[in-house]
Structure 1
Amino acid sequence: MYIPLVLAALPALSRATYLDPSLQHQKPLVEDAAPASSDNALLPLDLNQDLDYTFPSHPASHTPLHRLQNSAAIHATHHSNNVIRISIPLDVFSYAGTVTFSAQRPAAFTWLSQNPWNPAMNHVPLVDASVRKGGTVGMPVETATLDLSTPFLELPTGLWDVLVLATQPGRDADARGLSVECAARERFPDLVFGVRTGDEEDDDESVAELVVTPAQYVLQSEDGKCTLLARAAAHGDESVTLGWAAFRGRPVALDWETSQLGIAM
């Protein structure tokens, strides 16, 4: 049962222990790093001013990150391995993210089955979505779409209204989104998504929490300004889109061999 969220008395943000520590303080790629095995290809990610990620596909060209979600585009990367791990750091301006093409699946991931007839790897089965800080305000949501072409999380109108009350974004919005006070981030709530794991028809079906913290959905630019990487869903009050901001500091993997999406919960 959900209880009202008291926005005026939000307690301090607790430490997010579920984030991958290596991505909270990610080191840049250096020459003495351990070389990739013959089964792996490790490529750096590049972030442009429009907050679009690309990776090198040829010496003189780059491919948008979101194309890895399309089965038809995988062949154009010229990598034979079908397991793709995507790592985006919390500090996206200081450290490069990476894409790894591998023959083996990473351990300790929650794997979500996809429709093998769907060319897009983007289905995240949900039970609910909520805004949580001391108390919780939530609503049932059946599904979410992973969209690596955007950093933004798109929320149902009811949850977006609660987040606006909690974060008090300014009116000076730009192409990157609404501005918020950087110093107030510790008072902002978490965004919590109940992810259905296992087969819906299986008695062993369970629900895991995907928790997105202010450290992930608020982006501090190099000039010190903070932007809210969340917005209201454009279509429907029960739709959720998870942009790459939800996976800052948390790797995600695409296994095209088994048609499964992996998330480090």
Structure 2
Amino acid sequence: MSARRAALSLAEFPGPQPTTLQAAYAVQERMLDALADRPVAWKVGLIAAEQSAALGDNRLVGPVARLIEQGAGGRGVAVPLIAGGFAAVEAELALLIGHDIPARSEVFAEADLADYVSDMRIAAEIAGSPLAAIVELGPTAVVSDHGNNLAVVLGGSIADWRARSLQSLVCTVSINNAVIASGSAEQVPGGPLAALSFLVQNLARRGRALKKGDWVSTGAMTGVHPVAPGMLAELDFGSHGRLSVRFSTHRQT
């Protein structure tokens, strides 16, 4: 956590790496206990199939380090990265929680869970860690280190989102004006509400719950795309709008 705060890279995992997700979430809880306020945003990510069987879950969660609203008219934003660490951009859909969601370990019916959501926005997760090799180290390292998150950039709302098919929620990602990936919300298994359901259950096991006003970034629609200082990422969600993110080096303090 101190390396994150100082924007310093790490050559290796600091100390013994947890071998189970339960142990990794215990590390995450210790980090959360050190924060002045409870998280108001969370990210949900997938665990690769070859790892999920051994770990017992196909998703993981982490607190969002920073929420950024893109300006009116699609004005881009700048996000500083940790020099020497890991950084990537992911096209996502973010949900605004409109009512407190009761902590429960049982799966919500999709329609019931949707009633707790007041808005869906286009979004970009900026994944990031002081550990350049965090993805190679695996899900327990990701969970331990803030869910491998630096920020979530929020764009415009998606009207009538409950009536839209997953196939209709699409995005094309460009890096430095070159298209690198396209995809839809179908790439998030079960869609955004399935990701939200997983988060509700995960937090309930940890004595936590989502509150009105919280945000949830629900998973990568086009994959995970590495970025570096000086790069420009543009995410085109079609009729729902665009996001533009320019990356810089975090200034040392």
The reply to whether TM is greater than 0.5 is: no
The structure that has the greater radius of gyration is 1
TM superposition score normalised by structure 1: 0.28
Higher helix share: 2
TM superposition score normalised by structure 2 = 0.28
